[in-house]
Chain A
Amino acid sequence: MSEHPDVRYLRALCAGERELIEEIYRLHSGHIRQWVLRNNGDAEDAKDLFNEAILAIYDQYCGSDFVLTRSFGALLAAICRNQWFSQLRKKNTEQQVRSAEALRYTEEQEDADLLVLAEEAQAQRRRRECMERTFQQLTERCREVLALLDGRGMPGEEVARQLGISDRNAVYVRAHECRRRWRQLFSNQCNP
């Protein structure tokens, strides 16, 4: 299937281009807001949902070889719907969930592929949140070493100089211990 012209919005999001990111808000915020208002939410819920859906798209697709074959708006709406139904299930009464589920069934019959994409994005979002949470559980020194060495790709010698560590070998040993600890935390807390 060929790439949808809306791929420019996805690329803009990945590159942090404000002009087109703002266009995403201009084009789609009204529709999502109306949809949330019709489904037991308010404008504040709609804003949070919209922002989180954009971040979910960023987390799931930026840096991957994903090919966008549907409109950006359809993908965004599917992710918002999926996320909203999950939230309703957590916080609302049985009646609201039942009516939301009935609506979900009707809307999702229209496009099963989009539902799959939305669920994948939501799963990735949960995984990313857990990765952040476990990263925050590392010591401050560990976070500094990994942010410079792995995050910024800084050479070991430079990391040693900036953080006052004796030499690059000591940096690598420290980084290795930190990564190991992080993976343990992640495996214990984040795997389904």
Chain B
Amino acid sequence: MKEEEDKLLDDYLAGLLSDEERQAVETRLQTDEAFAAELALRREMQAFLRQRERRTALAADLARLGDAHFSTTRSEAGIRRLPLWRRPLMVAAASVAVLAVVITVLSLLLRPNLYEQYAQHPLLSLTEMSGQGPDLSRIEQDFNSGDYQAAETGLERYLTQHPEDQMARLYLGIALLELDRYAEAADLFTAIQGSGSDLADTAVWYLALTYVKQKDRETARRYLQQIPAGSEWYEKAQRLLARL
């Protein structure tokens, strides 16, 4: 492909062409298969880059889930009989393990965890870039591993340089909610709700969770009822409403 055609397609995708130039490209795409295939590859690469950060975070989370769900079976392929003298030790170790499981199950059963059941936060994926300013990978890692104190500090610092980033603001709210700093979290969620951004429904969902965590079911219910039927949070909101 010639250099000028190559640049033309880049500029077309970046929205840098005039109406007339854009129309000419679109007409050519109808008839020139090689030209259309070049554009398709560019779109694929752009989509790859857009998904890349989120995918990296997802892969890390899947690795953790994989460890949790497959860990008890790792040795199955290589089971060996222990010599008799080591068996009492194994019995003692097994007893401790059983006791630990019983304690865990009891603590789960006794814990009033409606909030925890629904506070399954989407993965944070700011960027992999860390050349300037705060280390964003570190913030993602802190948030996704549940270290909300460190994530809160990092997000506050990040937002001083990028105050327009509503997504980061939302995640700061979630970190504050996890740290039981309810008023600050609610302020952030309310501001996002009122900003008219795409994250408004998400902010309302988290406002509801803020009150679920404080056991204020009436206020939580009022927020959940504000989530419209077309929202990605609607199904969850309805399930939670049924339990309040």
Q: A55-B58, A162-B132, A172-B16 are in contact. Are A42 and B76 (CB under 8 A)?
A: yes
| Contact indicator A33/B62 (Cβ below 8 Å) | no
| Contact indicator A43/B121 (Cβ below 8 Å) | no
| Contact indicator B52/A47 (Cβ below 8 Å) | no
Q: Which of B70, B75, B76, B121 contacts A18 (CB 8 A)?
A: B121
* B contacts with A: majority SS: helix
CB nearest to B63 among chain A residues: A51
Q: A21-B61, A51-B63, A152-B127 are in contact. Are A172 and B14 (CB under 8 A)?
A: yes
Complex Cα–Cα for A19 and B233 (A): 13
Q: Is A44 an interface residue (CB 8 A)?
A: yes
Interchain nearest-CB distance for B68 vs A (Å)? 8
| Contact indicator A16/B77 (Cβ below 8 Å) | no
| Contact indicator B129/A148 (Cβ below 8 Å) | yes
Near A by CB (< 8 A), chain B positions 137-189 give: none
Which residues of chain A are within 8 angstroms of B65 by Cβ–Cβ distance? Answer: 21-22, 25, 51
| Contact indicator A18/B235 (Cβ below 8 Å) | no
Which residues of chain A are within 8 angstroms of B63 by Cβ–Cβ distance? Answer: 51
Interchain nearest-CB distance for A88 vs B (Å)? 15
Number of interface residues of B (CB under 8 A): 51
* A contacts with B: majority SS: helix
User: What are 15 pairs between A and B in contact, CB < 8 Å?
Assistant: A8-B235, A15-B122, A16-B58, A16-B122, A18-B123, A43-B73, A44-B74, A44-B77, A51-B59, A132-B52, A151-B49, A162-B132, A176-B7, A179-B42, A183-B41
A residues with CB within 8 A of B = 8, 11, 13, 15-19, 21-22, 25-26, 29, 33, 37, 41-44, 46-48, 50-51, 54-55, 58-59, 62-63, 128, 131-132, 135, 144, 146-148, 150-153, 162-163, 172, 175-176, 179-180, 182-183, 186
Given contacts A17-B120, A146-B49, A162-B132, 14 further A-B contacts (CB under 8 A): A16-B125, A19-B118, A42-B74, A43-B74, A43-B75, A43-B77, A46-B73, A47-B69, A55-B58, A58-B55, A131-B44, A151-B49, A151-B53, A186-B45
B residues with CB within 8 A of A = 6-7, 10, 14, 16, 41-42, 44-55, 57-59, 61-63, 65-70, 73-78, 117-118, 120-123, 125, 127-129, 131-132, 232, 235
